[in-house]
Chain A
Amino acid sequence: MEKLVRKLRFLDTWHIGENENYFTEMSASGLHLKKLTLLFAKFERGENINYRYRIDFSYHKSSSSDEYRKLYEESGWEFVCEFKGIQIFRSLESLNAPEIHTDPAEQGYTLVHLKNMILKSTIIIVPLYVISILLFFFVVFSSRTPFLHFIEGSFANMPILILLYLHIMFAHIQALFSVNALIKTLKEGREINHKADWRPYRRFYTILMSIFAVLTAIMLITPIASIVGQKTEPLPLTNTNQMHIRLSDIEKDDSLIRHEFLHEGRDFANNVDSAWFLLAPVMLEIREEGIIPGRTWKDGSGEYSPSITCKIYKLRFEFLADQTIKDLINRNDFYEYMPLIEIKDRENFDKLFLRSEGTMRHIFASKGNIVVYLRYNGERENDYAIKAVEDFLANH
Protein backbone atom coordinates (compact mmCIF):
# COMPACT_ATOMS: atom_id res chain seq x y z
CA MET A 1 0.00 0.00 0.00
CA GLU A 2 1.27 3.42 -0.85
CA LYS A 3 2.22 5.58 2.06
CA LEU A 4 -0.11 8.39 2.97
CA VAL A 5 1.07 11.96 2.57
CA ARG A 6 0.78 13.75 5.89
CA LYS A 7 0.23 17.44 6.14
CA LEU A 8 -0.15 19.49 9.30
CA ARG A 9 -3.63 20.83 9.82
CA PHE A 10 -3.07 24.53 9.77
CA LEU A 11 -6.74 25.44 9.61
CA ASP A 12 -9.07 25.45 12.55
CA THR A 13 -12.13 23.24 12.36
CA TRP A 14 -14.52 26.13 12.09
CA HIS A 15 -12.78 27.52 9.00
CA ILE A 16 -15.32 25.52 7.05
CA GLY A 17 -15.04 27.19 3.65
CA GLU A 18 -11.24 27.35 3.82
CA ASN A 19 -10.99 23.66 4.74
CA GLU A 20 -13.37 22.65 1.95
CA ASN A 21 -11.49 24.69 -0.61
CA TYR A 22 -8.15 23.34 0.59
CA PHE A 23 -9.23 19.69 0.26
CA THR A 24 -10.82 20.46 -3.10
CA GLU A 25 -7.59 22.02 -4.39
CA MET A 26 -5.51 19.16 -3.00
CA SER A 27 -7.64 16.60 -4.88
CA ALA A 28 -7.35 18.66 -8.03
CA SER A 29 -3.58 18.26 -7.68
CA GLY A 30 -3.76 14.51 -7.02
CA LEU A 31 -3.81 14.34 -3.22
CA HIS A 32 -7.04 12.91 -1.94
CA LEU A 33 -8.00 13.23 1.69
CA LYS A 34 -8.08 9.87 3.44
CA LYS A 35 -7.89 10.51 7.15
CA LEU A 36 -8.04 13.32 9.66
CA THR A 37 -6.29 13.35 13.03
CA LEU A 38 -5.81 16.03 15.65
CA LEU A 39 -2.68 17.39 14.00
CA PHE A 40 -2.58 15.90 10.54
CA ALA A 41 -4.62 15.54 7.39
CA LYS A 42 -3.51 12.40 5.54
CA PHE A 43 -3.78 12.21 1.78
CA GLU A 44 -3.60 9.40 -0.72
CA ARG A 45 -1.76 10.08 -3.94
CA GLY A 46 -3.71 9.48 -7.14
CA GLU A 47 -4.94 11.09 -10.32
CA ASN A 48 -6.01 14.70 -10.35
CA ILE A 49 -9.74 14.69 -9.75
CA ASN A 50 -12.13 17.61 -9.55
CA TYR A 51 -14.11 16.96 -6.42
CA ARG A 52 -16.14 19.25 -4.28
CA TYR A 53 -15.49 18.72 -0.56
CA ARG A 54 -18.01 19.64 2.10
CA ILE A 55 -17.69 19.64 5.86
CA ASP A 56 -20.54 18.84 8.16
CA PHE A 57 -20.70 18.62 11.93
CA SER A 58 -22.59 15.72 13.33
CA TYR A 59 -22.21 13.85 16.57
CA HIS A 60 -24.10 10.61 16.75
CA LYS A 61 -23.91 7.08 17.94
CA SER A 62 -22.75 4.54 15.40
CA SER A 63 -26.29 3.20 15.08
CA SER A 64 -27.49 6.39 13.46
CA SER A 65 -24.33 7.14 11.50
CA ASP A 66 -25.25 4.55 8.85
CA GLU A 67 -28.56 6.27 8.28
CA TYR A 68 -26.80 9.63 8.19
CA ARG A 69 -24.17 8.60 5.66
CA LYS A 70 -26.68 6.77 3.54
CA LEU A 71 -28.78 9.91 3.24
CA TYR A 72 -25.76 11.83 1.96
CA GLU A 73 -24.72 9.03 -0.34
CA GLU A 74 -28.13 8.91 -1.94
CA SER A 75 -27.82 12.63 -2.62
CA GLY A 76 -24.48 12.11 -4.37
CA TRP A 77 -22.06 12.74 -1.48
CA GLU A 78 -19.39 10.17 -0.72
CA PHE A 79 -18.27 9.90 2.90
CA VAL A 80 -14.51 10.49 3.23
CA CYS A 81 -13.62 10.50 6.90
CA GLU A 82 -14.64 11.64 10.33
CA PHE A 83 -12.77 13.12 13.25
CA LYS A 84 -14.52 14.00 16.51
CA GLY A 85 -17.75 15.04 14.86
CA ILE A 86 -16.19 16.67 11.81
CA GLN A 87 -17.68 14.77 8.89
CA ILE A 88 -16.11 15.15 5.49
CA PHE A 89 -17.89 14.35 2.25
CA ARG A 90 -17.00 14.78 -1.37
CA SER A 91 -18.76 14.68 -4.69
CA LEU A 92 -17.45 14.73 -8.23
CA GLU A 93 -17.71 18.21 -9.66
CA SER A 94 -19.29 16.76 -12.82
CA LEU A 95 -22.01 15.05 -10.80
CA ASN A 96 -23.49 18.41 -9.86
CA ALA A 97 -24.95 17.05 -6.64
CA PRO A 98 -27.16 19.41 -4.64
CA GLU A 99 -25.43 21.23 -1.79
CA ILE A 100 -25.37 19.46 1.56
CA HIS A 101 -26.55 22.56 3.36
CA THR A 102 -29.26 24.54 1.63
CA ASP A 103 -30.23 26.59 4.67
CA PRO A 104 -27.50 28.61 6.45
CA ALA A 105 -29.65 29.12 9.54
CA GLU A 106 -30.03 25.37 9.93
CA GLN A 107 -26.30 24.89 9.35
CA GLY A 108 -25.75 27.31 12.22
CA TYR A 109 -27.51 24.87 14.55
CA THR A 110 -25.08 22.08 13.60
CA LEU A 111 -22.24 24.15 15.10
CA VAL A 112 -23.83 24.59 18.52
CA HIS A 113 -22.36 21.32 19.78
CA LEU A 114 -18.87 22.35 18.62
CA LYS A 115 -19.28 25.68 20.38
CA ASN A 116 -20.30 23.94 23.60
CA MET A 117 -17.29 21.63 23.42
CA ILE A 118 -14.94 24.58 22.97
CA LEU A 119 -16.71 26.41 25.78
CA LYS A 120 -16.23 23.42 28.10
CA SER A 121 -12.51 23.12 27.49
CA THR A 122 -12.08 26.90 27.73
CA ILE A 123 -13.76 26.89 31.12
CA ILE A 124 -11.31 24.24 32.29
CA ILE A 125 -8.15 25.48 30.64
CA VAL A 126 -8.28 29.22 31.21
CA PRO A 127 -8.57 29.20 35.03
CA LEU A 128 -6.02 26.37 35.25
CA TYR A 129 -3.47 28.27 33.23
CA VAL A 130 -4.19 31.57 34.94
CA ILE A 131 -3.51 29.85 38.28
CA SER A 132 -0.29 28.34 36.90
CA ILE A 133 0.92 31.72 35.71
CA LEU A 134 0.00 33.43 39.00
CA LEU A 135 1.77 30.67 40.87
CA PHE A 136 4.86 31.28 38.81
CA PHE A 137 4.81 34.99 39.56
CA PHE A 138 4.26 34.19 43.22
CA VAL A 139 7.31 31.90 43.27
CA VAL A 140 9.46 34.44 41.46
CA PHE A 141 8.52 37.44 43.51
CA SER A 142 8.49 35.71 46.83
CA SER A 143 12.13 34.93 46.19
CA ARG A 144 14.53 37.59 47.35
CA THR A 145 16.77 37.03 44.38
CA PRO A 146 14.48 36.52 41.37
CA PHE A 147 16.95 37.82 38.80
CA LEU A 148 19.74 35.56 39.96
CA HIS A 149 17.33 32.64 39.67
CA PHE A 150 16.55 33.70 36.12
CA ILE A 151 20.16 34.15 35.21
CA GLU A 152 21.34 30.97 36.84
CA GLY A 153 18.75 29.02 34.96
CA SER A 154 16.22 27.84 37.50
CA PHE A 155 13.49 30.13 36.12
CA ALA A 156 14.93 30.81 32.70
CA ASN A 157 12.46 28.56 30.89
CA MET A 158 9.40 29.89 32.62
CA PRO A 159 8.82 32.87 30.31
CA ILE A 160 8.68 30.46 27.36
CA LEU A 161 6.20 28.23 29.17
CA ILE A 162 4.12 31.25 30.07
CA LEU A 163 4.11 32.30 26.43
CA LEU A 164 2.92 28.84 25.47
CA TYR A 165 0.18 28.93 28.13
CA LEU A 166 -0.92 32.37 27.00
CA HIS A 167 -1.06 31.18 23.42
CA ILE A 168 -3.21 28.17 24.32
CA MET A 169 -5.54 30.33 26.38
CA PHE A 170 -5.76 32.91 23.64
CA ALA A 171 -6.43 30.21 21.02
CA HIS A 172 -9.31 28.83 23.10
CA ILE A 173 -10.91 32.19 23.65
CA GLN A 174 -10.44 33.10 20.01
CA ALA A 175 -12.01 29.76 18.99
CA LEU A 176 -15.02 30.53 21.12
CA PHE A 177 -15.51 33.95 19.58
CA SER A 178 -14.91 32.68 16.06
CA VAL A 179 -17.45 29.86 16.32
CA ASN A 180 -19.95 32.21 17.91
CA ALA A 181 -19.49 34.71 15.12
CA LEU A 182 -19.81 31.97 12.52
CA ILE A 183 -23.06 30.70 14.02
CA LYS A 184 -24.39 34.24 14.05
CA THR A 185 -23.40 34.82 10.43
CA LEU A 186 -25.10 31.60 9.35
CA LYS A 187 -28.25 32.37 11.31
CA GLU A 188 -28.42 35.71 9.56
CA GLY A 189 -28.71 33.68 6.38
CA ARG A 190 -25.24 34.25 4.96
CA GLU A 191 -23.82 31.14 3.32
CA ILE A 192 -20.41 29.55 3.75
CA ASN A 193 -18.00 30.60 1.02
CA HIS A 194 -16.87 27.22 -0.30
CA LYS A 195 -14.01 28.85 -2.20
CA ALA A 196 -12.53 30.78 0.73
CA ASP A 197 -8.78 31.42 0.54
CA TRP A 198 -6.85 29.21 2.92
CA ARG A 199 -3.33 30.42 2.09
CA PRO A 200 -3.11 33.32 4.59
CA TYR A 201 -3.87 30.86 7.40
CA ARG A 202 -1.05 28.59 6.29
CA ARG A 203 1.35 31.51 6.23
CA PHE A 204 0.31 32.58 9.73
CA TYR A 205 0.49 29.00 11.02
CA THR A 206 3.99 28.50 9.57
CA ILE A 207 5.26 31.65 11.26
CA LEU A 208 3.65 30.72 14.57
CA MET A 209 4.99 27.16 14.48
CA SER A 210 8.50 28.38 13.60
CA ILE A 211 8.50 30.70 16.58
CA PHE A 212 7.38 27.90 18.87
CA ALA A 213 9.89 25.47 17.39
CA VAL A 214 12.71 27.92 18.11
CA LEU A 215 11.44 28.61 21.63
CA THR A 216 11.04 24.90 22.35
CA ALA A 217 14.54 24.22 21.08
CA ILE A 218 15.89 26.93 23.38
CA MET A 219 13.87 25.51 26.24
CA LEU A 220 15.28 22.02 25.72
CA ILE A 221 18.85 22.88 24.79
CA THR A 222 19.76 25.58 27.33
CA PRO A 223 19.47 23.48 30.50
CA ILE A 224 21.49 20.72 28.88
CA ALA A 225 24.11 23.21 27.66
CA SER A 226 24.29 24.65 31.18
CA ILE A 227 24.83 21.24 32.73
CA VAL A 228 27.44 20.27 30.16
CA GLY A 229 29.16 23.66 30.47
CA GLN A 230 29.51 23.44 34.25
CA LYS A 231 32.95 22.55 35.56
CA THR A 232 35.29 23.05 38.49
CA GLU A 233 39.00 23.37 37.78
CA PRO A 234 42.10 24.00 39.85
CA LEU A 235 43.12 27.63 39.87
CA PRO A 236 46.34 28.27 37.90
CA LEU A 237 49.22 29.48 40.03
CA THR A 238 49.57 32.77 38.23
CA ASN A 239 46.96 34.82 36.44
CA THR A 240 47.06 33.48 32.89
CA ASN A 241 45.24 36.43 31.42
CA GLN A 242 41.91 34.77 32.09
CA MET A 243 38.82 36.52 33.29
CA HIS A 244 39.95 36.17 36.89
CA ILE A 245 40.48 38.45 39.86
CA ARG A 246 43.34 37.11 41.92
CA LEU A 247 44.42 37.45 45.51
CA SER A 248 47.77 38.84 44.39
CA ASP A 249 45.92 41.70 42.62
CA ILE A 250 44.89 42.86 46.10
CA GLU A 251 47.80 41.84 48.26
CA LYS A 252 50.49 43.18 45.86
CA ASP A 253 53.12 41.26 47.78
CA ASP A 254 55.66 39.05 45.98
CA SER A 255 56.13 36.80 49.01
CA LEU A 256 52.49 35.63 48.80
CA ILE A 257 52.34 31.90 48.20
CA ARG A 258 49.41 29.53 47.78
CA HIS A 259 47.77 28.02 50.83
CA GLU A 260 46.48 24.64 49.80
CA PHE A 261 43.68 22.68 51.38
CA LEU A 262 44.13 19.25 49.85
CA HIS A 263 41.60 16.46 50.08
CA GLU A 264 41.96 13.34 47.96
CA GLY A 265 44.39 15.14 45.67
CA ARG A 266 42.12 18.12 45.09
CA ASP A 267 42.74 21.61 46.35
CA PHE A 268 39.47 22.82 47.82
CA ALA A 269 40.75 26.28 48.67
CA ASN A 270 42.04 27.24 45.22
CA ASN A 271 39.70 26.49 42.34
CA VAL A 272 37.38 28.04 39.86
CA ASP A 273 33.84 27.08 38.89
CA SER A 274 32.68 28.07 35.47
CA ALA A 275 29.24 27.85 33.98
CA TRP A 276 27.23 28.90 30.94
CA PHE A 277 23.73 30.28 31.13
CA LEU A 278 21.45 31.68 28.49
CA LEU A 279 21.39 35.07 30.19
CA ALA A 280 24.95 34.92 31.47
CA PRO A 281 27.27 33.30 28.92
CA VAL A 282 30.14 33.50 31.39
CA MET A 283 29.79 32.88 35.09
CA LEU A 284 32.85 32.26 37.22
CA GLU A 285 33.37 31.65 40.90
CA ILE A 286 36.97 31.91 41.98
CA ARG A 287 38.22 30.76 45.36
CA GLU A 288 41.78 31.47 46.40
CA GLU A 289 43.75 31.36 49.65
CA GLY A 290 47.33 32.42 50.25
CA ILE A 291 49.98 32.76 52.94
CA ILE A 292 52.73 35.28 53.44
CA PRO A 293 55.38 33.22 55.27
CA GLY A 294 56.75 34.80 58.37
CA ARG A 295 53.91 37.32 58.71
CA THR A 296 51.18 36.94 61.31
CA TRP A 297 47.67 38.47 61.52
CA LYS A 298 47.74 41.72 63.42
CA ASP A 299 45.46 40.25 66.09
CA GLY A 300 48.06 37.54 66.61
CA SER A 301 45.77 34.74 65.52
CA GLY A 302 48.47 32.95 63.53
CA GLU A 303 50.12 33.02 60.15
CA TYR A 304 48.66 35.63 57.78
CA SER A 305 46.43 33.80 55.33
CA PRO A 306 44.27 36.13 53.21
CA SER A 307 41.58 34.72 50.94
CA ILE A 308 39.07 35.72 48.28
CA THR A 309 35.86 34.38 46.85
CA CYS A 310 34.92 36.13 43.66
CA LYS A 311 31.83 35.78 41.47
CA ILE A 312 31.94 37.19 37.98
CA TYR A 313 28.92 37.40 35.69
CA LYS A 314 29.22 38.39 32.09
CA LEU A 315 25.58 39.08 31.26
CA ARG A 316 23.88 38.74 27.90
CA PHE A 317 22.24 42.15 28.30
CA GLU A 318 23.56 45.21 30.07
CA PHE A 319 20.14 46.12 31.48
CA LEU A 320 20.26 43.02 33.71
CA ALA A 321 23.29 44.36 35.61
CA ASP A 322 21.50 46.61 38.14
CA GLN A 323 19.09 43.88 39.20
CA THR A 324 21.88 41.33 39.36
CA ILE A 325 23.85 43.50 41.78
CA LYS A 326 20.75 44.05 43.87
CA ASP A 327 20.12 40.31 44.06
CA LEU A 328 23.76 39.56 44.86
CA ILE A 329 23.54 41.96 47.79
CA ASN A 330 20.30 40.27 48.90
CA ARG A 331 21.78 36.80 48.54
CA ASN A 332 24.70 37.71 50.76
CA ASP A 333 22.59 39.44 53.36
CA PHE A 334 23.96 37.38 56.26
CA TYR A 335 26.60 40.11 56.39
CA GLU A 336 23.88 42.68 56.87
CA TYR A 337 25.33 43.70 60.22
CA MET A 338 28.05 45.38 58.17
CA PRO A 339 26.72 48.67 56.78
CA LEU A 340 26.29 48.81 53.00
CA ILE A 341 27.86 51.87 51.44
CA GLU A 342 27.29 52.97 47.88
CA ILE A 343 30.37 54.64 46.44
CA LYS A 344 29.42 57.06 43.69
CA ASP A 345 32.54 59.05 42.95
CA ARG A 346 34.46 56.32 41.09
CA GLU A 347 34.36 56.87 37.36
CA ASN A 348 35.21 53.38 36.23
CA PHE A 349 32.15 51.78 37.79
CA ASP A 350 28.51 51.88 36.83
CA LYS A 351 27.62 50.73 40.32
CA LEU A 352 29.83 50.13 43.34
CA PHE A 353 28.80 48.98 46.81
CA LEU A 354 30.99 48.15 49.76
CA ARG A 355 30.57 46.33 53.03
CA SER A 356 33.62 46.47 55.20
CA GLU A 357 34.42 45.55 58.77
CA GLY A 358 37.63 44.34 60.36
CA THR A 359 39.42 42.21 57.82
CA MET A 360 36.29 41.45 55.76
CA ARG A 361 35.43 43.39 52.61
CA HIS A 362 32.53 42.76 50.27
CA ILE A 363 32.52 44.56 46.97
CA PHE A 364 29.58 44.55 44.58
CA ALA A 365 30.46 46.25 41.33
CA SER A 366 29.32 46.53 37.73
CA LYS A 367 30.50 48.05 34.51
CA GLY A 368 28.58 47.48 31.29
CA ASN A 369 27.41 43.88 31.21
CA ILE A 370 29.92 42.62 33.79
CA VAL A 371 28.96 42.22 37.41
CA VAL A 372 31.43 41.29 40.14
CA TYR A 373 30.98 40.25 43.71
CA LEU A 374 34.29 40.03 45.59
CA ARG A 375 34.64 38.83 49.16
CA TYR A 376 38.07 39.47 50.56
CA ASN A 377 39.39 38.49 53.94
CA GLY A 378 42.75 40.13 54.62
CA GLU A 379 44.49 43.15 55.95
CA ARG A 380 44.70 45.25 52.79
CA GLU A 381 42.55 48.40 52.94
CA ASN A 382 39.32 48.92 51.01
CA ASP A 383 41.11 50.80 48.26
CA TYR A 384 43.31 47.84 47.36
CA ALA A 385 40.31 45.61 46.91
CA ILE A 386 38.35 48.24 44.97
CA LYS A 387 41.39 48.89 42.76
CA ALA A 388 41.69 45.19 41.94
CA VAL A 389 38.04 45.11 40.82
CA GLU A 390 38.47 48.41 38.95
CA ASP A 391 41.48 47.09 36.99
CA PHE A 392 39.59 43.92 36.20
CA LEU A 393 36.53 45.81 34.90
CA ALA A 394 38.73 48.12 32.86
CA ASN A 395 40.33 45.14 31.10
CA HIS A 396 37.20 43.09 30.35
Chain B
Amino acid sequence: MAYTKGPMTEAMYYVLLALINPSHGYRLMSEIEEVSHGRLKMGPGTLYGVLTRMQNDGLLQISEGNGRRKVYRITTEGKEALLYEYQRLQAMVHDGFSLKGSE
Protein backbone atom coordinates (compact mmCIF):
# COMPACT_ATOMS: atom_id res chain seq x y z
CA MET B 1 0.00 0.00 0.00
CA ALA B 2 2.29 2.78 -1.21
CA TYR B 3 1.69 6.29 0.05
CA THR B 4 -0.25 8.29 -2.55
CA LYS B 5 -0.46 11.67 -0.90
CA GLY B 6 -3.79 10.81 0.68
CA PRO B 7 -4.51 11.94 4.21
CA MET B 8 -1.89 10.60 6.63
CA THR B 9 -2.72 8.85 9.84
CA GLU B 10 -1.87 10.84 12.95
CA ALA B 11 0.92 8.37 13.69
CA MET B 12 2.53 8.86 10.25
CA TYR B 13 2.40 12.63 10.56
CA TYR B 14 4.03 12.77 13.96
CA VAL B 15 6.70 10.19 13.16
CA LEU B 16 7.75 12.21 10.12
CA LEU B 17 7.61 15.39 12.13
CA ALA B 18 9.78 13.92 14.88
CA LEU B 19 12.24 12.55 12.31
CA ILE B 20 13.21 15.99 11.08
CA ASN B 21 16.03 15.16 13.47
CA PRO B 22 17.28 11.60 12.80
CA SER B 23 16.56 9.30 15.69
CA HIS B 24 16.34 5.69 16.81
CA GLY B 25 13.27 3.68 17.74
CA TYR B 26 12.94 4.05 21.48
CA ARG B 27 14.01 7.70 21.59
CA LEU B 28 11.46 8.44 18.88
CA MET B 29 8.63 7.57 21.24
CA SER B 30 9.56 10.32 23.67
CA GLU B 31 10.33 12.71 20.84
CA ILE B 32 6.88 12.17 19.40
CA GLU B 33 5.41 12.92 22.81
CA GLU B 34 7.52 16.06 22.82
CA VAL B 35 6.59 17.39 19.37
CA SER B 36 2.92 16.68 20.08
CA HIS B 37 3.25 18.55 23.38
CA GLY B 38 2.41 15.45 25.37
CA ARG B 39 -0.82 14.82 23.46
CA LEU B 40 0.35 11.68 21.69
CA LYS B 41 1.84 8.69 23.53
CA MET B 42 2.65 6.21 20.81
CA GLY B 43 2.88 2.48 21.61
CA PRO B 44 5.82 0.47 20.25
CA GLY B 45 3.57 -1.59 17.96
CA THR B 46 2.13 1.47 16.31
CA LEU B 47 5.54 3.10 16.01
CA TYR B 48 7.20 0.02 14.53
CA GLY B 49 4.33 -0.49 12.10
CA VAL B 50 4.53 3.09 10.88
CA LEU B 51 8.31 2.97 10.55
CA THR B 52 8.22 -0.22 8.51
CA ARG B 53 5.45 0.99 6.27
CA MET B 54 6.93 4.42 5.61
CA GLN B 55 10.31 2.87 4.97
CA ASN B 56 8.73 0.65 2.30
CA ASP B 57 7.04 3.73 0.85
CA GLY B 58 10.37 5.55 0.69
CA LEU B 59 9.33 8.28 3.12
CA LEU B 60 12.17 7.44 5.49
CA GLN B 61 15.35 5.42 5.49
CA ILE B 62 17.41 3.46 7.94
CA SER B 63 21.11 3.77 8.51
CA GLU B 64 23.37 1.99 10.95
CA GLY B 65 24.13 4.33 13.80
CA ASN B 66 26.69 4.05 16.51
CA GLY B 67 26.39 0.74 18.33
CA ARG B 68 23.67 -1.64 17.17
CA ARG B 69 20.91 0.97 17.12
CA LYS B 70 19.38 1.74 13.78
CA VAL B 71 18.90 5.36 12.97
CA TYR B 72 15.84 6.49 11.06
CA ARG B 73 15.96 9.59 8.94
CA ILE B 74 13.38 11.30 6.76
CA THR B 75 13.95 11.25 2.97
CA THR B 76 13.31 14.06 0.49
CA GLU B 77 10.03 12.36 -0.48
CA GLY B 78 9.18 12.15 3.19
CA LYS B 79 9.77 15.85 3.67
CA GLU B 80 7.64 16.66 0.64
CA ALA B 81 4.85 14.41 1.87
CA LEU B 82 5.00 15.97 5.33
CA LEU B 83 4.86 19.49 3.90
CA TYR B 84 1.97 18.52 1.66
CA GLU B 85 0.09 17.05 4.60
CA TYR B 86 0.88 20.12 6.72
CA GLN B 87 -0.60 22.37 4.05
CA ARG B 88 -3.65 20.15 3.76
CA LEU B 89 -4.20 20.23 7.51
CA GLN B 90 -3.67 23.98 7.56
CA ALA B 91 -6.26 24.42 4.84
CA MET B 92 -8.65 22.25 6.82
CA VAL B 93 -8.13 24.33 9.95
CA HIS B 94 -8.49 27.53 7.91
CA ASP B 95 -11.77 26.29 6.45
CA GLY B 96 -12.97 25.67 9.96
CA PHE B 97 -12.46 29.25 11.08
CA SER B 98 -16.14 29.95 10.67
CA LEU B 99 -16.66 27.78 13.78
CA LYS B 100 -14.70 30.26 15.88
CA GLY B 101 -16.79 31.76 18.58
CA SER B 102 -19.37 29.00 18.47
CA GLU B 103 -17.31 26.84 20.85
Contact = CB atoms under 8 A, between A and B. Distances in A.
Q: Do A and B actually bind?
A: yes
Nearest to A56: B45
Contacts of A71: 25-26, 44, 47-48
Interface in A142-166: none
A12 interface: no
The CB with the most chain B CB atoms within 10 A, among A54, A98, A102, A107, is that of A102
A106 B49 CA distance: 7
Interface residues on A, range: 20 to 34
B37 interface: no
A300 B85 CA distance: 109
Interface stretch (A62-70, A341-349, A377-385): A62-70
A75 B46 contact: no
Contacts of B21: none
A101 interface: yes
B11 A74 contact: no
A103 B11 contact: yes
B44 A109 contact: no
Interface in B1-24: 1, 9-12
Contacts of B40: 102
B41 A74 contact: no
B43 A74 contact: no
A100 interface: yes
A56 B27 CA distance: 21
A75 B70 contact: no
Contacts of B100: none
A287 to B, nearest CB: 73
A101 B43 contact: yes
A66 B48 CA distance: 12
Nearest to B41: A98
Interface in A70-84: 70-72, 74-75, 77
Contact of B46 (A58, A60, A102, A112): A102
Contacts of A112: 1
Given A70-B25, A98-B41, A107 B49 contact: yes
Contacts of A60: 52
Interface of B: 1, 9-12, 25-26, 29, 40-50, 52-53, 68-70
18 contacts: A54-B45, A56-B45, A66-B68, A68-B48, A71-B26, A72-B45, A72-B48, A75-B44, A98-B41, A99-B45, A100-B46, A101-B49, A103-B9, A103-B11, A107-B45, A107-B46, A107-B49, A112-B1
Given A72-B48, A106-B46, 14 more contacts: A70-B26, A71-B44, A71-B48, A75-B29, A75-B43, A98-B43, A99-B45, A100-B43, A100-B46, A102-B42, A102-B46, A103-B43, A106-B11, A107-B45
